[in-house]
Structure 1
Amino acid sequence: MIDATAPGRVGDVRRRNLSLVLDSIARTGDAKPSRAQLAAGTGLTKAAVSSLVADLVESGLVSEVGLYRDGERGRPGQGLELSSRRGVIGMEINVDYLAVGVVDLAGNLRFHSSVESPNRGLEPATVMERLGALAAEAKAAAATEGIAILGGGLAVPGLVDEQRSVVLSAPNLHWENEPLNPGALLEGAPLGVRLSNEANSAALGELWYGGGPADFLYVSGEVGVGGGVIIASELYTGPGGSAGELGHIVVNPDGPSCSCGGAGCLETFAGQEAIFEAAGIPPGALEERAELLLAALRRRDPQATKAVDDAGRYLGVALASSARLMDIEAVVLGGHFATLGEWLRPALLGSLERHAPGLLDPRNLTLSGLEHSGTLLGAAGQVIRSVIESPFEFLLAAKLA
């Protein structure tokens, strides 16, 4: 195993090389490289790679699979992959539901559960208690499959201070400067629980697991409307962490009041609740309302069609402004925007052509294929990436060094 007391220079080199090898295995995906292939790809010696891989296999981060020959000569090599026996629990608090998912190191969603939960205005402690029960189910499901949980990621629909685990502002939950204790959701997990913004997590989920391009704006459609900005395959949050707040771009100065305290924001026209109300969908359970809306659209109900057309038109206004300001070349629609894509897209493209002709190629306006799992994948993925980037620190944290 790794010697944590090794001289600084030697220890630093080993830290970097561990990350280099683990990242190389992660990037190959289904290719399952051998030790010899890793040595060739990283420039490290075969002996160095063998030693590093031995540590990673012993820690449980990497698994050996199969036997094959790299060429006509030599002993058969074993393929290597990120372990399916180690995982992270992604968790999400949204306005009207709670969700959890177990994601293994390779990014496979092994367990997924969500429940409707009217969280607006509830005390954070109450919501966290409910989420804790779901997290316990996910942890039990992971244990059944032999998956050891390393940590967790918790996404909320608001601006957060990750270091202090504080929700700074979540208008749709009516939370302001609310400290959370996310670590209590997964007691004993060596990496704890990381707090993040819901739209940012969904954007990262799209980047890592949804085949998203290197540069794009992710649009999250829930009760609120959020956005995540990816530049050069990295999340851009801005100096204050609030970049990408697409839902609070003003699209109609004379529009209705918004939960943020402003008026005429995109969210008031294109948020899930706003569309339901405009379409004449009666109050009720979220899934039932969503099905009623889709049924109305399929039969071309005029009121439902107009509600979605209006949402698409106002979304186009917001995207036109964003594209001009940030030179955005690609947009990925998630959440209810992806579900409504068939009906939303014509009005959205028409609006873009009117307000920003030729600026955004229609082929670069795509729908997320992750449906409602993107946020969970992104929340968990941030913890997984931290392990890949710093496996040495993980080994120490897990007391495996």
Structure 2
Amino acid sequence: MQGQGDSAAHIQAPGRVTDVRRRNLALVLARIGPDAPASRADIAVATGLTKAAVSSLVTDLLATGLVEEIGVTRAGGRGRPGVGLALDPRRGAVGAEVNVDYLAAGIVDLHGQLRVHEVAEAANRDRAPDEVLAELSELVARCSARATDAGMTLLGGGLAVPGLVDPGRGTVLTAPNLVWHGADLSAALTGLAQPTPFGVVLSNEADSASLAELWYGCGASLGSYLFVSGEVGVGGGLVLAAELFSGPGGHAGEVGHVVVEPGGRRCSCGGRGCLETVAGQEAILAAAGITGGGSTTAERMSVLRSALTAGDARALAAVAHAGHCLGIAVVSSARLVDLSAVVLGGHFATLAAWLRPALLSSLDDFAPGLIAPGRAVFSELGATAALRGAAGSVLRRALAAPYELLD
């Protein structure tokens, strides 16, 4: 005779016994977090499954390596102590990023911690994709080796790039700032990391960073928000009701190409007057009078921050203008999709002290009350947001389908 919890599970997920068990594995796993341990009894109460069913499911979850037993718990100090269950931080995923002027790789564990992180400066604009991915593979290999030495097992990986992508085909449709168009990375993705259960998935850099804010940053408290990432280009992502909204073609959130100065400078996308032409790193540096001279973008951004700290009028004006135009783009986007919060990352977060006044003034001028000052927030994830999100997507796939580690 089945317990009541088992019957309920069958009603919710009709089908073969195997299908029901798979659903219940994910149901139980969802009750096991990275921090406070849960006992089998706790999970039975929370899910409505019988204790026997939960014990059987936990046995399978322990076999996947996603869960570990961490001692005993005693809820409220009464009854028999139960063995605590938590997500195992020895399981993780690779996160990697290609950007215009750097490559980055890292390992994120099931607790959301960035365990390993490496960044290498690289002038990637107009380089062949295979050449860039070969260099990135070396970075990933070093990070993976360090994770293995620390006793970690990798479940998969994610690669974030600053462009429009087709994840299913592993193709970069267009990445104007890299000058990549129709770049097939499918073979390179396969070789990017060691063989793993969930493989390596391609994603848009800003979309991945948007999700990182939701999972590991300030986005969890906002629920719905526009994410704007400042790099050489300007990317964006839409999170609605705690879900990434990428649109029918997967290209929603391209706030960097919202027109803020009609008749303005020509953009890398082919348009004119886009936000990127006034608020991207190169645009701000040029407006501040900080030229290349053989220096890297990171070095010139450091010069910009020093100039701002010293009160240089030209640097202050360049950042203020960028903040003003950023406000225009944010308001235009927020009006269209009914948003009341924005998260700013990349160099916008780095320049927050100087950018914030102009941004808030612009928001108030163009849409009073739409986005309150407390809901225009700056990321604390720094330059790691995109690779954290890329790795986090794989980890969540594993948590949603733990049975794939048993088949």
TM-score, normalised relative to structure 1: 0.94
Contact 2:257–2:275 (CA under 8 A) maintained in structure 1: yes
Equivalents in 2 of 1:8, 1:394: separation in Å? 21
Q: 1:57 aligns with which of 34, 46, 62?
A: 62
Equivalents in 2 of 1:338, 1:34: separation in Å? 40
Question: What's 1:3 paired with?
Answer: none
Equivalents in 2 of 1:173, 1:322: separation in Å? 25
Q: 1:143 aligns with which of 141, 144, 148?
A: 148
Matched, 1:347 2:358: yes
Q: Please give the secondary structure, in 2, of the residue aligned with 1:136.
A: helix
Matched, 1:81 2:86: yes
Equivalents in 1 of 2:183, 2:344: separation in Å? 29
Equivalents in 1 of 2:183, 2:212: separation in Å? 26
Q: 1:21 aligns with which of 16, 25, 28?
A: 28
Alpha-carbon distance change, 121 to 49 in structure 1, aligned in 2, over 3 angstroms: same
| Identical counterparts, % of pairs | 57
Amino acid in structure 2 at the alignment position of 1:22 = L
Relative to structure 2, which stretch is displaced further, 59-68 or 334-343? Answer: 59-68
Contact 1:93–1:157 (CA under 8 A) maintained in structure 2: yes
Question: What's 1:392 paired with?
Answer: 403
Question: What's 2:10 paired with?
Answer: none
Amino acid in structure 2 at the alignment position of 1:13 = V
Amino acid in structure 1 at the alignment position of 2:91 = R
Matched, 1:32 2:37: yes
Q: Please give the secondary structure, in 1, of the residue aligned with 2:120.
A: strand
Q: Please give the secondary structure, in 1, of the residue aligned with 2:198.
A: coil
Matched, 1:382 2:393: yes
Question: What's 1:293 paired with?
Answer: 304
Alpha-carbon distance change, 70 to 257 in structure 1, aligned in 2, over 3 angstroms: same
Matched, 1:114 2:119: yes
Alpha-carbon distance change, 17 to 211 in structure 1, aligned in 2, over 3 angstroms: farther
Equivalents in 1 of 2:386, 2:160: separation in Å? 7
Equivalents in 2 of 1:52, 1:350: separation in Å? 55
Contact 2:37–2:73 (CA under 8 A) maintained in structure 1: no
Question: What's 2:7 paired with?
Answer: none
* Cα displacement (A) at 1:110: 0.3
Amino acid in structure 1 at the alignment position of 2:242 = S
Q: Please give the secondary structure, in 1, of the residue aligned with 2:262.
A: coil
Alpha-carbon distance change, 186 to 348 in structure 1, aligned in 2, over 3 angstroms: same
* Cα displacement (A) at 1:286: 2.7
* Cα displacement (A) at 1:276: 1.2
Amino acid in structure 2 at the alignment position of 1:265 = C
Q: Please give the secondary structure, in 2, of the residue aligned with 1:31.
A: coil
Alpha-carbon distance change, 63 to 211 in structure 1, aligned in 2, over 3 angstroms: farther
Question: What's 2:46 paired with?
Answer: 41
Question: What's 2:264 paired with?
Answer: 255
Q: 1:96 aligns with which of 83, 101, 122?
A: 101
Matched, 1:228 2:254: no
Question: What's 1:193 paired with?
Answer: 200
Q: 1:211 aligns with which of 209, 215, 218?
A: 218
Question: What's 1:319 paired with?
Answer: 330
Relative to structure 2, which stretch is displaced further, 73-82 or 189-198? Answer: 73-82
* Cα displacement (A) at 1:393: 2.2
Structure 1: 4+ residue segments shifted above 4 A: none
Tell me, which stretches of 5 or more residues in structure 2 are unaligned?
A: 1-13
Deviations 1:51-94 (A, max 9, x none): 11111112211011122222444432122111111110000001
Question: What's 1:9 paired with?
Answer: 16
Contact 1:116–1:286 (CA under 8 A) maintained in structure 2: no
Equivalents in 1 of 2:78, 2:184: separation in Å? 61
Question: What's 2:8 paired with?
Answer: none
Question: What's 2:4 paired with?
Answer: none
Equivalents in 1 of 2:336, 2:149: separation in Å? 49
* Cα displacement (A) at 1:287: 2.6
Q: 1:359 aligns with which of 367, 370, 373?
A: 370
Question: What's 2:314 paired with?
Answer: 303
Equivalents in 2 of 1:333, 1:94: separation in Å? 18
Relative to structure 2, which stretch is displaced further, 184-193 or 155-164? Answer: 184-193
Equivalents in 2 of 1:142, 1:154: separation in Å? 18
Amino acid in structure 1 at the alignment position of 2:397 = S
TM-score, normalised relative to structure 2: 0.93
Equivalents in 2 of 1:394, 1:281: separation in Å? 52
Tell me the number of residue pairs that the alignment of Structure 1 and Structure 2 aligns: 388
* Cα displacement (A) at 1:187: 3.3
Question: What's 1:124 paired with?
Answer: 129
Equivalents in 1 of 2:51, 2:200: separation in Å? 36
Amino acid in structure 1 at the alignment position of 2:250 = G
Contact 2:39–2:85 (CA under 8 A) maintained in structure 1: yes
Equivalents in 2 of 1:66, 1:369: separation in Å? 33
Equivalents in 2 of 1:162, 1:68: separation in Å? 42
Matched, 1:239 2:248: yes
